[in-house]
Every structure is written in C-alpha cells, then in structure tokens.
A and B are shown apart, each in its own frame.
Chain A
Amino acid sequence: MTAVAHLIARLEAARAGWLRLPRQTLARHLVLAVGFGLAFYVLSVYISPYRDSQLATAAYYFTALVGLTVLTGLNGQLSIGHGALMAIGAYATVLLIGRAHFALVPTLVAVTVITATAGGVLGAGAARLRGPYLAGATLALAVGLPALADGYPGTFGGDNGLTVAPPTPPASLGLSFPLTRWEAWIAGVGALVAFVVVANLLRGRAGRVFRAVRDHEVSAQLVGIPVARTQVLAFTLSAACAGLAGGLYVVVNQLAAPGAFQLSLSLSLLTGVVLGGLGTLGGAVWGALALVFLPAWATNLSHAISLPTNVSSNLPLALYGIALAGGMLLAPRGIQGALGRAGQWLGVRLRKSTSNEEGSDEQDHK
C-alpha cells in the first residue's frame, strides 16, 4: 500500500511539473476551460459544417450530462426525467425568443433560472424518495410533461411543437461562415460555463457534502449535514444544467416539440452518463460523444452491408443496444473508468520498465 501511495505521489509530482496547473480551484478550472475552449475552437474551424453540427450536439448533451453527473453520479439520486427538464428549457427558450423577443444570452440565463426553479420544486419532492421510487416518479415526469404540449396547443403548438429562427452569425465573420459552426460556438461556450461552475462547486464544500450524502445518508446526518436540503440543492443545480442544455438544444435544432422530448431522450441521457463514467466530468464528455457518435456509427456500419429492408432498418438499433449492454458488462465504470484503469496499468508498466528499484507487487492493486 505504501508503494501505491508512493507511486501516486510521484505521478502527481510528474504531472504537476508537466502541466503546472494553478493550485487555486477556480483558477485551475478557468485555465482548463480556456484549454478546452481553444481546442473546441480549433476543432470547429477545421471540420466540415455537418461535423460542426455534431460538435454542437455533443456540447448540449455534455451540458445535460454535467447535470446528471451532479445528481446521479455525485449525489446518488437516480433521474429518468432529465429529458423533461430539457423540454422545460427548450420550450421556455422558444417562447422567450419567439414570442417575447428576448436576445439570446438573457434568454439562456432566464431559462437556466426557470428550469432551476422547477428543479428545486421537483427536488423537494424527490428528496423524500429513494431508488426505484424516485426512478418511477421521474419516469412519469418524462412521459407526462410533454403531454402538456398536446393539452395546451395554443401556447405550446400541440403535437407539431414550435420552431424559432436560427441564430445569425455576426456579419464580421463573413457571409460564407457556416451557420452550424456558429451554433457550435454558442453551444460550446454554454457547455464551458456549465463545466466551470459545476467543476468549481464540486471541488469545494458542496461536492464533499453531495458525496457524503450519497455514500452514507445517516453518517452525513450525524455530522450535521442537512440531507434533504443537500438533495434539493443537487436537484436544483442539476436542473439548471438541463435547462441550459434545453436552451442550447434550441440554438442547435431551432425547435421544441413533444416528439423530440420523449422518454427515449431521458433514457439516452441516463445511458450517456453511465456509459461515459458515472460521477466524473470527464465521463460526461465521453457520454456526450457516445450519444452523438454511437448511433451514427451503428447506422454507418449497417449501411455498409446490403440486407433485406426489415433487417437493415433495425440493425442500427440492435447494434446500439448491444453496445449499451456490452459496454456495461465490459466496462462497469464506463469509458472514463476503463481509461483510468488502462492509464494506471500503463503507468505502472512504464515505471517498471524505466526503474527497477522497487518490488513487483504493484500491479496487484486496482
């Protein structure tokens, strides 16, 4: 065990020397965010307009998954209703931009607040529920809330939903500037804001309290943590992310309709956060990429072979299903967990080949 600690300390030191991230949490996350933003920018100008739209999609998925990371990953509350929270954000965005003629940035701020408020109310109820009962209630939310659109077609456009004009790139970018890239930039900035705020919160007291409540409710209560209030707070923060994600969804897709916010969306989000690696923001990145690229990959793969119609049209779904179940069986801690293990294994290997000062029991630890 001491060997492990030793190793980790050395790796940490090596990393610190290499990266020199500031020690202060906020500053560190800001530096990371700038790095992320630069990479995002370079990527977005290099790729084709369609890839930009995929990147934009990944960005709003990431924002929603950050919310689920907080709620399900760190606070242990299972939500199958985040699609409904995204729907609140999306409908609010379309109504604010389309009917009340708000500008984009105030709209996104407003819908984040609106959805956070809704999340606070839901969270107050959710704090009383555990495990499958919370799952059931949030599932009913995911199925029930979009029905409001059909029930009140005057406001919400009924089954057809609502549309809104796409955001216009500033003239300074030139006439041939792809719209999808502009969408990707907006979604990317939104995602980075969510990342910095949440990463910052989680490194601090809030993160420790969230985890304490998840790991052992009774102990948390004993040391004086207000369990219910913590759970409501986690739900509110999580809903704020989902609401922002809904707003970014509108930026990218310019629509809000019941057909877009079915149960399948909530289930996809849950899948993304678990498949990516539950409880880490890196996992949220992987999850968002998986949600964008896994179905596309499955479709391309099945188009590559010529098959009877019934088979070829269902093959992408079959492959997707296999990927979900198989992924969980092979990598129970998601992509992030699998990479972490691979990285550790590699690190141990590298260390062993370069230095031979220590014993050989290191690869035994997890």
Chain B
Amino acid sequence: MSRFIDLTLNGVTSGMIYASVALALVLIWRATRIVNFAQGAMLMITTFIASSVIAASGSYILGFAAALAAGLVLGAALERLLVRPVEGGPPINAVIVTLGLLIFLQAVAGMIWGNTPRSFPAALSIQGFRIGGRHVLFSPFDLFTVGSVLVMSLALGLLFTRTGMGLRMRAAAFEPEVARLLGVRVGRMLTWGWALAAVAGSLAGLLVAPVVFVGPNTFDAELVFGFTAAVLGGLDSAIGAVVGGLILGVALSYVSGYESPALVTLAALVILVVVLMVRPSGLFTHAKARRV
C-alpha cells in the first residue's frame, strides 16, 4: 500500500512537469497554430541561463527571475526572426523550422556549457514529507511544483477566456484576416503568444532541472511526454494539458513500478491511441476537428 502511495505521488509530480511543458505547447498552438518542437530546447537554454546566474550571484530568486525573463525575450525573438516568415505557410514548414531550431539550440548549449549535466538547486527542500514514520515520495519542492503549475494553468485559462488580450490572441490565431479587419494587431499577438509560452516553458525547466540536472539533452523526454500530454488533453485546452499530464504521469509511474520501465514509452503510446480513438481531438476539445 505504501508503495502504491509512493508511485502515485511520484506520478503526480512528474505529471505536473509534463503538464507545464504541455501548457507551453498549448499556448503556442492557440496563438500560432504551430507545434513547437524546439520547446524542450528553449527551456533548456533558459534553465542554463538560470544556472549561470545562480552560480554567479548565489541567489536562487535572481536565477528564477532570469530564466523567466530570458524565456520572454527568447520566445519573442524567435517568433519575430524565425517563425514569422513561415506563419501562414504550410504548417509542416513551421514544424521543420522548429526542428532545426531544436538541433541548433542543443548544439549551442553544448558549445557554451559542455555536455556534462550540472546540478541545479531546488526552491525548497527535496526531502520527502514525513508521514506515519516514513518519508513519502513527495517533498516541499514537489508541492511547490504542483502549486506553481496549477497557478500557471489557471492564469493562462483566465487569460484566454476572461481578458481582452486573450480574446485578441485567439482571434489572431484562428482568423488572422478577420482579426486584422477588426483592429487586432495580429503580429504583436503572435509574438506575445510565443513569449508567454516560452515563460511557461522556462518554469517547467526550473521545476524539472533539480531532478534531471541541466544538460543539452536532459529535457528530451520532457518534450516527448509533454507533447503526448498536450495531445491527450486536447491542444486547445489549458485544463486538458494539466489533466493529460496527470493521467500520463500517474499511469507511467504505475507501469514503471509494477510492470517494467522498458515498457514506459510503449504504455504512453497505448494510452494516447486509446484516448484518441475515442476522442480524436483529445479529452478537452469541444471545437470540431480542424484541418491543419
């Protein structure tokens, strides 16, 4: 029983990390109708920046802020320089551009910071809470992880449904021509979408780095599972990203613990296929399937 609890808690924490990556992907999808394969590499860069700032200043808070700020700038800059020219073209071209970016950013990180992963501090203690005479697999930092991802998803949900800016962003993504006619500055909205998504991604990096360290390739799995979670939940839904992440995290923790870690990625495939066969546009998408 106590093992079941540990596996569940472990699944919740990793699920929330998948959710944070999924949120970033959902944001970009909602803002620009692009699946951003470079998301994992972008959050790797911002986490490295945080790591360097913490090493230089000794302040975790400063590093945390630096990562979020770097994400904002990186997201906006990449949208302007690389994504803008392919927006409105065939979606697959945008996919290739983000793939090129992924490879490039990983290489650049390897050049600057080397291949060996380095340690990254956590905001709070990583020692598990003591419950019933034993430490469970859930620490104050895990609580921080769960809390900040929930807050972020809530904030993004509100942004899209309750604010004018969110509305303008959605309009810009769905019907750029109409939105432009209505006075929405479409280009600026797209830039904002990428910038905010990169901030969400940066947060994911800060949450997962203490456990998997910072290295050019340490976030590869986070992107794959984050994308799977986003598709599972429905790419248009912030709640979907969180629920998708949770389902995936907990299920994979059980598979790894009770069956075999070799079957984890296979289990992710099975879960995704089963869900998509029942709901071809993910769990939380109400809109009709759209052609991309």
Contact = CB atoms under 8 A, between A and B. Distances in A.
Nearest to A78: B92
Interface string A118-141: 000000010011111101110111
A263 B265 CA distance: 12
Contacts, number: 168
Interface in B238-279: 260, 262-270, 272-273, 276-277
Contact of B265 (A131, A144, A271): A144
A147 B265 contact: yes
Interface in B84-115: 85-86, 89-93, 95-97, 99-108, 110-112, 114-115
A136 B230 contact: yes
Interface stretch (A56-64, A163-171, A309-317, A345-353): A309-317
A318 B115 contact: no
B82 interface: yes
Interface stretch (A1-9, A89-97, A321-329): A321-329
A190 to B, nearest CB: 27
A317 B106 contact: yes
Interface stretch (B9-17, B172-180, B284-292): B284-292
A124 to B, nearest CB: 10
A255 to B, nearest CB: 20
B111 A315 contact: yes
A332 B89 contact: yes
A341 B103 CA distance: 29
A37 B132 CA distance: 75
A325 B97 contact: yes
Contacts of A31: none
A320 B108 CA distance: 12
A240 interface: no
A147 B110 contact: no
A72 B111 CA distance: 35
How many of chain B's residues touch chain A, expressed as a range? 35 or more
A128 B111 contact: no
Contact of B281 (A133, A217, A274): A133
Interface in B118-167: none
A317 B101 CA distance: 11
Contacts of B101: 321, 325
B264 A328 contact: no
B194 interface: no
Interface string A265-280: 0010011001100100
A114 to B, nearest CB: 19
Contacts of B102: 321
Interface in A278-313: 278, 310-311, 313
Interface in A99-155: 125, 128-133, 135-137, 139-141, 143-148, 150-151
B100 A324 contact: yes
B224 A132 contact: no
Most interface-central of B29, B110, B262 (chain A CB within 10 A) = B262
Contacts of B292: 78, 130-132
A137 B107 contact: no
A151 B96 contact: no
A217 B266 CA distance: 32
B35 A132 contact: yes
A103 B112 CA distance: 51
A307 to B, nearest CB: 9
Contacts of A322: 100, 104
B224 A270 contact: no
A201 to B, nearest CB: 22
B110 A137 contact: no
Interface in A205-225: 217
Contacts of A148: 266
B108 A314 contact: yes
A129 B276 contact: yes
Contacts of B205: none
Given A133-B276, A316-B107, A318-B107, 4 more contacts: A270-B92, A310-B115, A317-B103, A321-B107
Interface of B: 29, 35, 37, 82, 85-86, 89-93, 95-97, 99-108, 110-112, 114-115, 216, 224, 227-228, 230-232, 235, 260, 262-270, 272-273, 276-277, 280-282, 289-292
7 contacts: A128-B280, A132-B29, A133-B289, A147-B266, A313-B115, A321-B105, A322-B100
Which 4 A-B pairs have CB atoms at the shortest separation, nearest pair first?
A131-B292, A321-B104, A324-B100, A136-B231
